[in-house]
Amino acid sequence: MKRIIVLLVVLAMGLSMQAQEMKVIKLNAPNKTKGEAVMKVFNQRQSVREYAAKELSQQDLSDLLWAANGVNRADGRRTAPSARNVQDVDIYVVMKEGAYLYDAKAHQLNPVAPGDHRAAIAASQDYVKTAPVCLVLVSDLSRMGNPQAEQTKLMAAVDVGIVCQNINIACAGLGLATVPRGIMNHAELAKALQLKDTQLLLMNNPVGYPK
Ligand SMILES: Cc1cc2nc3c(=O)[nH]c(=O)nc-3n(C[C@H](O)[C@H](O)[C@H](O)COP(=O)(O)O)c2cc1C
């Protein structure tokens, strides 16, 4: 018994040390003049479920996150509208080396959990594990007041849907491949991302370069 406890303590220490080893990733400034004309981009938008075996460049990741839900005005408002501007949608960025939370104000990725959590996002769909980056869209209902109300959850779903479509359109315009997904292993992912009870996991987008 004593041995098991010592083993568990060593394991826990190892995990927390790993988490401390993760560093904040300062993203490049987004390139706001990049991309194709909007009508051409709508014409190109499609779900893509095959990705090249190539990491996403820092610049593409930066541009994509800013387009998804970055700050685009001096008063802190975002590229994605949200009900009453509560800005309830958070983007978790899940990569091979770990999971991060996109901090839109600082335009950086804050460490959340080390390790590869893409399998929890993939669930029954293996192709997801080949995407170098998965964006997981979470609404924090506590920012909306009355988290249990049906209307709150509906607004959360709408807000997440808008960010998701920003991602779909941005990918189409930036030469990236993605698919909006509702499937994921909710319980496993919520645990890995250390979500609170008020945080609703709604959609995810695997992202990579087209194959
Ligand atoms: C709310 C929502 C949930 C979806 N969930 C999944 C999913 O879990 N897995 C998947 O492979 N595609 C998923 N899709 C993608 C749809 O299958 C796809 O959009 C649809 O087949 C139309 O194809 P298109 O996006 O290329 O127009 C989802 C789409 C939406 C809008």
Q: Give which of 210, 175, 161, 206 is closest to 44, Cα–Cα.
A: 175
How many other CB atoms are found less than 10 A from the CB of residue 32? 11
Pocket probe for ligand 1: among 42, 45, 46, 47, the residue whose CB has the most ligand atoms within 8 Å is: 47
User: Is 86 inside any structural domain?
Assistant: yes
Kind and range of the H or E run holding 202: strand 199-208
Give per-residue pLDDT as tens, 32-88: 999 889 999 999 999 999 999 999 999 999 999 999 999 999 999 999 999 999 999
Binning pLDDT at 50, 70 and 90, where does residue 106 land? very high
Give per-residue pLDDT as tens, 107-125: 999 999 999 999 999 999 9
User: Is 158 inside any structural domain?
Assistant: yes
- Rounded to 10 degrees, what is the CA torsion of 102, 164, 87, 94? -20
User: Is 14 inside any structural domain?
Assistant: no
Is the Cβ atom of 182 under 6 angstroms away from ligand 1? yes
From residue 190, alpha-carbon distances to 8, 21, 41, 187, 205 in Å are 22, 22, 33, 5, 16
Q: Exposed, middle or buried: residue 147 (CB in 10 Å: 0-12, 13-18, 19+)?
A: middle
User: Is 141 inside any structural domain?
Assistant: yes
| Per-residue pLDDT, 62 | 98
From residue 50, alpha-carbon distances to 146, 176, 206, 209 in Å are 40, 11, 10, 9
| Per-residue pLDDT, 145 | 86
- pTM for the complete prediction? 0.92
Contact 90, 103 (CB under 8 A): no
| CATH code assigned at 150 | 3.40.109.10
Is pLDDT at 180 greater than 80 in this prediction? Answer: yes
Can you give the residue range of the structural domain that contains 160?
Answer: 23-208
Count structural domains, the chain: 1
User: Is 15 inside any structural domain?
Assistant: no
% of the chain surpassing 90 pLDDT: 87
| Per-residue pLDDT, 47 | 98
What is the whole-number distance in angstroms between the Cα of residue 186 and the centre of ligand 1?
Answer: 17
Residue with the smallest CA separation from ligand 1 atom 23 is 47
183 CA: nearest ligand 1 atom: 8
User: Is 9 inside any structural domain?
Assistant: no
Binning pLDDT at 50, 70 and 90, where does residue 20 land? low
User: Is 5 inside any structural domain?
Assistant: no
User: Is 3 inside any structural domain?
Assistant: no
